[in-house]
A and B are shown apart, each in its own frame.
Chain A
Amino acid sequence: IAGITQAPTSQILAAGRRMTLRCTQDMRHNAMYWYRQDLGLGLRLIHYSNTAGTTGKGEVPDGYSVSRANTDDFPLTLASAVPSQTSVYFCASSDEGGGVDEQFFGPGTRLTVL
């Protein structure tokens, strides 16, 4: 593994289903982030974690949950997917939290909720 990986690459999901997007980094970064990117809008922060064992809410957290059991993994769960959650989801990491460090992004997961 080099950098950040995300899985799956893309997914079509029926509304109401539960879905977990996976994110793993091998850079030993302390901070990790989940963003969604929608056409015509900037990246919007869903949840973040400044260090293993802690998480925080971003700008658009409703309908999503995260966990950070260890340094490397930061899964994002949609408990009951809705069509408005159709988006491209990017996981990112940085050496330290607080936003002042360069963020490294994974390749993204394209999610369609029908």
Chain B
Amino acid sequence: GQNIDQPTEMTATEGAIVQINCTYQTSGFNGLFWYQQHAGEAPTFLSYNVLDGLEEKGRFSSFLSRSKGYSYLLLKELQMKDSASYLCAVIASNYQLIWGAGTKLIIKP
């Protein structure tokens, strides 16, 4: 079967750094996305990784290790507006996206 695992919920402090992990077991791999979803809203694109290594985009970075079936999203200088769910999604061998259930990130002052 195909499976994507993420922690259900994480809590962090404003101004700090948090790392959200994603592990996957899928039939094939053609890339990995991270999306952000605020409560009651639509998901919005954050990052895309297809090769191993770190992709940095402002306060957000995403890392991929294909051999380990592992990715993480790193958020720096946390702001209250970063309180949201973070969704990991893998492009499987049939080129359809397999989505994780998401990690709800709670930011405390």
Contacts and interface: CB of A to CB of B under 8 A. Distances in A.
Interface of A: 40-45, 48, 58-59, 90, 97-100, 102-108
Contacts of B100: 42
A42 B95 contact: no
Contacts, number: 51
B60 interface: no
Nearest to A39: B101
A108 B91 CA distance: 22
Interface in B42-58: 42-45, 48, 50
B99 A100 contact: no
Contact of A100 (B31, B41, B102): B31
Contacts of B33: 102
B12 interface: no
Nearest to A98: B95
Interface residues of B, number: 23
Contact of B48 (A102, A104, A105): A102
16 contacts: A42-B87, A42-B89, A42-B98, A42-B99, A42-B101, A42-B102, A43-B87, A43-B89, A43-B99, A45-B96, A45-B97, A90-B43, A97-B95, A99-B30, A99-B97, A107-B42
A90 B99 CA distance: 14
B86 to A, nearest CB: 12
Given A42-B4, A43-B43, A107-B42, A99 B101 contact: no
Contact of B96 (A42, A58, A102, A107): A58
Given A48-B96, A103-B97, 13 more contacts: A42-B89, A42-B100, A42-B101, A43-B89, A45-B96, A90-B42, A99-B30, A100-B30, A100-B50, A102-B45, A103-B45, A105-B44, A107-B41
